[in-house]
């Protein structure tokens, strides 16, 4: 395998080393294909105007659309469009169907998609006016996603971002205090308490759902903004659940900050609060960022608790909302789901890619120091 050995011979490489490099690059390219394949697939689904998986191909075909208008009363109006073409303006479509008054037309356009190649429309279209457009845009799924009032995607996204950021900030603040204490003080029961926190933390929170549900219901009767069906209540659950492992993560990092720094400050008469705030806090910023990010992403991605705790569509988080697009057996809409998945994954994707160094550093630092 590769080793830092090559540093010594940077000037000239052997044939074996070059062959190794070539092999490594090939493996990496294969790995990237493996890593990105699902993402390309979902992007393709998002851009594909057809809603089902049936017509999946990696580069979706843009529908060819031809519209023929009726010129005179009594003639047939024909619209030629491939299957799966999205028909916009469903309000006018309803009008069209009503005027035409035929069952056939209703079936030809189902959920706003063309299902048969030809739609024959009756004589009422004397004017020949284009009553509806047949879209040929790659972005029709995004359009549907953002403009369906029954499924307020942007609202869900907003909810998710608010819940995740507030929870992350709270988790960072509270666990940082605890980590400072565990790292800097020596008190009776310290070790036991740490182990206890670790143990309690591995309890599957998911299955305490009944207790948590009943508790939030009860709290909500008296403090409405912390009850069921509120962002506050859900955040309370997330923050409570985010204590244990993050205290450990932070403590590991706090331990790696030399004690001499605060010892000398304490001798000079500084209070623990001053030591914490002016000396330690700036030094541990990397781990604060890591814990904050991990908490944000974890909360942002959480699904089960949110699905149980939030009942109204307006309070849903992104994941709860997105799941609706594909959970129903007979109405899976992979195109809109793909569009939502791409937009929904952007925040965590951006965070991870921008801050990958810090995340890696924070995750390994405490452990690697030994």
Backbone φ/ψ region at 183: left (φ over 0), alpha (ψ -120 to 50), beta: alpha
What is the rounded CA–CA span in Å between residue 312 and residue 310?
6
CB of 137 to another protein, least distance (A): 23
What is the rounded CA–CA span in Å between residue 321 and residue 292?
24
Q: Of all helices (H) and strands (E), which one includes residue 113?
A: strand 113-114
3-state SS, residue 363? helix
Contact 137, 87 (CB under 8 A): no
Of 130 and 367, which has the nearer Cβ to another protein? 367
DSSP secondary-structure letter at 117? S
Of 81 and 297, which has the nearer Cβ to another protein? 297
Of 51 and 135, which has the nearer Cβ to another protein? 51
Of 268 and 312, which has the nearer Cβ to another protein? 268
CB of 319 to another protein, least distance (A): 5
Of 52 and 83, which has the nearer Cβ to another protein? 52
CB of 272 to another protein, least distance (A): 7
What is the rounded CA–CA span in Å between residue 331 and residue 107?
16
CB of 95 to another protein, least distance (A): 34
Of 67 and 360, which has the nearer Cβ to another protein? 360
- What does the radius of gyration of the chain's CA atoms come to, in whole angstroms? 29
CB of 91 to another protein, least distance (A): 31
SS percent in the chain: helix, strand, coil, step 5: 65, 5, 30
CB of 102 to another protein, least distance (A): 31
Give the sign of the dihedral formed by CA 279, CA 282, CA 283, CA 287. positive
Q: Name residue 113's beta-bridge partners.
A: 86, 110
CB of 245 to another protein, least distance (A): 8
Contact 74, 123 (CB under 8 A): yes
Of 80 and 351, which has the nearer Cβ to another protein? 351
Contact 118, 173 (CB under 8 A): no
What is the rounded CA–CA span in Å between residue 334 and residue 204?
31
């Amino acid at each position: 395998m590769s080793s830092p050995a090559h540093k010594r011979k940077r000037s000239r490489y052997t044939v074996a080393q070059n062959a190794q490099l070539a092999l490594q690059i090939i493996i990496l390219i294969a790995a990237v294909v493996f890593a990105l394949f699902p993402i390309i697939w979902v992007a393709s689904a998002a851009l594909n105007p057809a809603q089902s998986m049936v017509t999946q191909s990696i580069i979706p075909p843009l529908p060819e659309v031809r519209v023929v208008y009726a010129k005179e009363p009594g003639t047939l109006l024909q619209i030629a469009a491939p299957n799966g073409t999205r028909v916009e303006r469903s309000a006018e479509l309803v009008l069209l169907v009503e005027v035409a008054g035929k069952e056939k037309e209703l079936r030809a356009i189902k959920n706003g998609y063309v299902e048969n190649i030809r739609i024959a429309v009756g004589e009422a279209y004397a004017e020949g006016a284009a009553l509806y457009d047949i879209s040929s845009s790659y972005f029709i799924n995004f359009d549907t996603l953002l403009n369906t009032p029954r499924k307020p995607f942007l609202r869900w996204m907003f909810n998710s971002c608010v819940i995740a950021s507030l929870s992350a900030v709270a988790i960072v603040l509270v666990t940082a205090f605890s980590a400072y204490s565990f790292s800097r003080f020596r008190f009776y029961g310290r070790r036991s308490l740490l182990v206890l926190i670790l143990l309690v933390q591995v309890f599957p929170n998911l299955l305490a759902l009944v207790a948590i549900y009943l508790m939030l219901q009860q709290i909500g009767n008296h403090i409405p903004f912390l009850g069921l069906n509120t962002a506050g209540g859900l955040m309370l659950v997330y923050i409570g659940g985010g204590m244990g492992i993050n205290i450990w993560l932070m403590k590991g990092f706090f331990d790696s900050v030399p004690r001499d720094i605060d010892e000398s400050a304490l001798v000079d008469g500084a209070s623990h609060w001053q030591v914490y705030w002016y000396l330690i806090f700036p030094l541990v910023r990397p781990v604060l960022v890591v814990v904050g990010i991990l908490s944000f992403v974890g909360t942002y991605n959480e699904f089960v608790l949110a699905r149980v705790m939030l009942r109204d569509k307006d309070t849903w988080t992104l994941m709860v909302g997105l799941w609706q697009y594909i959970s129903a057996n007979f109405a899976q809409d992979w195109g809109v789901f793909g569009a939502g998945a791409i937009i929904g994954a952007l925040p965590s994707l951006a965070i991870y890619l921008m801050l990958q160094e810090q995340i890696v550093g924070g995750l390994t630092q405490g452990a690697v120091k030994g």
